[in-house]
Amino acid sequence: MNIGILSTNPELYSTRRLVEEARNLGHEVLVVNPLQCYMNITSSSPTVHYKKRTLDQFDAIIPRIGASITFYGAAVLRQFEMMGVYSINGSISITRSRDKLRSAQILARKDVGLPITAFAHGTLHTKDLIEIVGGPPLVVKILEGTQGKGVVLAETQNAAESVIGAFRSLDANILIQEFIKEAKGTDIRCFVIGEKVVASMMRQAKEGEFRSNLHQGGSARLVKITPEERATAVKAAKVLGLRVAGVDLLRGKNGPKIMEVNSSPGLEGIETATKKNVSRMIIEYIEKNARPSSSRKVE
């Protein structure tokens, strides 16, 4: 098969591993920077161009689109979809998962466990907003934040009011969520491929920090998840339409609570912590589900 990987940096661990495993399994693979693509948008013959060539050889696309380029990256991916190319994650699912508010609303509608969540922009009724999520401690998030950035823990009423007021002065849309104390600075990353959790790790925040993201200095180790956690992770990915996802959840006293569903989950942390070849599993999933170009039709 001919596989394209949309990535702005071919040297990133995740990109390198996917290239390596695709070639190990006998596939042709090309890393394409989506920001350097340009498109001919026509109903009769949609095309994607890259470095003065037309990209019409791919049987499948693996989108590794960073949050900062979601708009343009999704547009490029949509163009490949118009050409009938199979994508491991669809453009609609990616943009849906990147919108924290929209994804939370979709998950809540489908009865997927979430921390109590409120959404606001310019409200002056800060105390009422705090009461909605059960009072402090609580977590305040900027909608556009990623990898633990733009996330603040407010442990007291005064701190909560100050943080919300500060974000309001920045003209920012914010999510306010209950703080799951019993998680004790840990969360679980479940790596979902298809309708199966293929690997899972527990991430522990560093001393004095509540964010367990590895980018924030957290550590990770192999963890055995419960059947309920497994089912919740699979359902969360499915509800958002993602075939490959990193589902982050907290162990709450009333069951697992979804923190986030990542459409381009990093591979280094999960492969290092679990010793599983997740990259190969992704390529094998494509082998089973992507149609070869000779039988592909534009849909």
Q: What is the CATH number of the domain that holds 234?
A: 3.30.470.20
CB contact at 8 A, 112 and 106: no
Do 68 and 145 fall into the same domain? Answer: no
Is residue 86 situated within a structural domain? yes
Residues 192 and 164 in one domain: no
The residue segments making up the domain with residue 239 are 182-282
Percent of the chain exceeding pLDDT 70 equals 90
Q: Are residues 269 and 190 in the same domain?
A: yes
Q: H helices of the chain, where?
A: 13-24, 70-82, 91-98, 100-109, 126-132, 157-169, 227-239, 268-274, 278-289
Is 255 within the bounds of a domain? Answer: yes
Do residues 240 and 206 share a domain? yes
pLDDT bracket for residue 208 (50, 70, 90)? low
Whether 103 is in a domain gets the answer no
Q: What angle do CA 74, 240, 203 make, to 5 degrees?
A: 95
Decide if pLDDT at 249 tops 70.
yes
**Same domain, yes or no: 206 and 240:** yes
Q: Do 15 and 83 belong together in one domain?
A: yes
Residue 251 forms part of a structural domain: yes
The answer on 186 and 215 residing in a single domain is: yes
Please tell me the predicted confidence (pLDDT) of residue 209: 53
pLDDT in tens, 112-162: 999 999 998 766 788 898 999 999 999 988 776 554 467 888 889 999 988
Query: What pTM was estimated for this model as a whole?
Result: 0.86
Distance CA 132, CA 128 (A): 6
Q: What is the mean pLDDT of residues 283-296?
A: 78
Dist CA 32 CA 133 (whole Å): 43
- Same domain for 59 and 74, yes or no, is yes
Query: Are residue 265 and residue 173 in the same domain, yes or no?
Result: no
Q: How confident is the model at residue 294 (pLDDT cuts 50, 70, 90)?
A: very low
- Confidence grade of residue 183 (pLDDT, cut at 50, 70, 90): confident
Asked if the structure places residue 26 within a domain, the reply is yes
175 and 239 belong to one structural domain:
no
Number of domains composing the chain: 3
The whole-chain average pLDDT of the chain stands at 89
Q: Kindly state whether residues 275 and 190 are assigned to the same domain.
A: yes
Listed residues 152, 179, 206: the one ending a domain: 179
Indicate whether 198 and 256 sit together in one domain: yes
- Asked, for residue 77, whether it belongs to a domain, the answer is yes
**Any idea what the CATH number is for the domain that residue 16 is in?**
3.40.50.20
Q: Is the pLDDT of residue 280 over 70?
A: yes
For the residues 170-188, what does the mean pLDDT come to?
A: 83
Per-residue pLDDT at 264 exceeds 80 = yes
Q: Is the pLDDT of residue 210 over 70?
A: no
Q: Could you tell me the pLDDT band of residue 169, with boundaries at 50, 70 and 90?
A: confident
Task: Between 292 and 180, name the one with better pLDDT.
Answer: 180
Tens digits of per-residue pLDDT, 67-107? 999 999 999 999 999 999 999 999 999 999 998 889 999 99
In a domain, 88, yes or no: yes
- Spacing of C-alpha 243 from chain mean position: 11
Whether pLDDT at 213 is above 80: no
Whether 288 maps to a domain, the answer reads no
pLDDT at 272 over 60: yes
